Structure 1
Amino acid sequence: MTETMRALVSGRGPEWLLADAALPEPGPGQVLIRNRAAATNNADLPMLAEADPTRGGHGREFIAGFEYAGEIAALGEDAGDWQVGDPVMGTFPSAFADYLIADHRFVLPRPEGLAADIACALPTALLTEFGALTVAGFVPGRSVLITGATTGIGLVGVQMAKVLGASPVVATTRTSGKRELLAGLGADTVIVTGDEDLTQATLAATGGKGADVVLDHVAGETFAQCLPATAEDGHVVNIGRLAGRASTIDLDALSYRHLTVHGVSFGFSRDWETVPILESLSADVLPAVARGEIQPVIDSVVDVADFQQVAERLRSGKAVGKAVLVFG
């Protein structure tokens, strides 16, 4: 094993820099992962901009990325039941590199036969959407509304809700061109928010009751519209804030319907939450992944040497699904 590796580094300018970095060594409770592929996420470009010292950023260098797939290359002490060579995937900082260190508790087994350039696009979405359904107390048979359903995470959420027994699954998109995609992934009703009123369309899709669980990836005015579209005693989980962090809501809609509002971060960030969610995820969701019932939507697959293509694709706003970097 070499002593250096390739890595995409932030903090030196407005773009990632492909550079040599020291090969990390796993400490207690950690595993070293030979990374084969890494997926990009909406947060990657803002993190790059925040680190850019040429434009007032903090200038602290770090290896970018946080979603990967590969295999175990080495083990630290007390690293659980993992073995060298085990195929894995997960979400952990510094994923845009040939190797990365991860806490063994946060690593997921990669289903047999699932290629790394597909698997790497799943962990953040699986953890976020399953975690959101968990905090909302979802059980099979309840209705689920997913806003911003054509995001990389939302696309997985639609499939997951269907596999776990949600009925109906209602998904939103801004344009009619995405209707067929969402229907094909399991949405029973697709609401085109550019043409339809979200609240009224959701009520119509749920027999006037409203959705039992809402997974909101949009926020802003959309979050406010979700409250009167939620069933009595229902749960609204805000996951993403694509339309902005601020929202003016109708407190009558919140109070009279006895709603519960939850806020979560992408991937979850507190150990005491993450570990049990991952354990349940492995048992309840990964079998469906292995059967091909939950799949990421891949926008593009690019060798890490051509990483500029990925950055340009993300900035264009035209990517549908995940852009993937391959490390070989």
Structure 2
Amino acid sequence: MTPPDFWIEGGPLARLLEPLGGLVALAGWLRRAATTPWRAPVPVFCVGNITVGGAGKTPVALWLGRFLAAEGRKPAYLSRGYGGSATGPLLVDPDSHDADLVGDEPLLLAAVAPTWVGADRVASAKAAVAAGADCLILDDGFQNPRLAKTVSLVVVDGAVGFGNGKVMPAGPCREPVRVGLARADAVVLIGTDAQNLAPRLAKRLPVFSARIAPRADAQKFAGREVVAFAGIGRPEKFFATLAALGAKVVRRIAFTDHHPYSQADIQPILDEAYRRRAIPVTTEKDAMRLPPDQRQQVDVLAVEIAWDDPEPPQRLLRAALGS
């Protein structure tokens, strides 16, 4: 879905829907109160957020897996596998599995560390530990109370923050902001802090500032005309990144988040790029959902997390590993 404007700006409709948001918040509180979390025998690092949509969780999760591996650990990712049909727990095999089965994000994560998909995070955790993992990364499971977390990182998009601060459907929040922050160990603030959140959040918990940066090979798009398309939480961020690289974005095509691409979706994009002598380009996550024969004809803009100061998040994680 495309987030409605009142999720950011507020207004009469947001106020009208606020009682429904209260019911959603109550349901979440009751679920947490009625659940006794299972505590894994290894550290569990959670990367999640309080709002729906693309805040930048996947680049943070990818960085976390690489960091833990560099520390000599054997991490494994746990993912629900959103958009895939697998019920799990299933160990992702990028050579034989596709996004229809396991979802797009697990295919990216599996390039860094073993990745297990399944609706039951505890079952996936037990399978990962039995397979040799000595630490777990819970991708987008911050609101899931069944698995105890050692460290929870809440990722926040600095451009929009928490929107109007209300719970769905009145706003973009999965739960009240203060409730979510009370369970977090740190906030990862991505991009420009347009909402001036850092000073307020820093009174409650550590704030680690970062940005989503293109990888070095992305310079190939500078000065080139591109036809850009994306089906992520905020496609405009992808388009802006291309423009900042110096690419000439002659067409911007936005699909819904996790859109299941068909050949009929992609062929007109390829045809237009050919007519304009432009490069068809999308995100890494979108590329995982493209039909195989068309995936080879589309360029990918690869990005990664870039910390303003990498030492504070590394210190927090090393302390958790030590404990």
**Larger RCO: Structure 1 or Structure 2 (Cα < 8 Å, ≥ 6 residues apart)?**
2
TM-score, length of structure 1 as denominator length: 0.34
Length-normalised TM-score, structure 2: 0.34
Structure with more strand by fraction: 1
Higher percent of residues as helix: 2
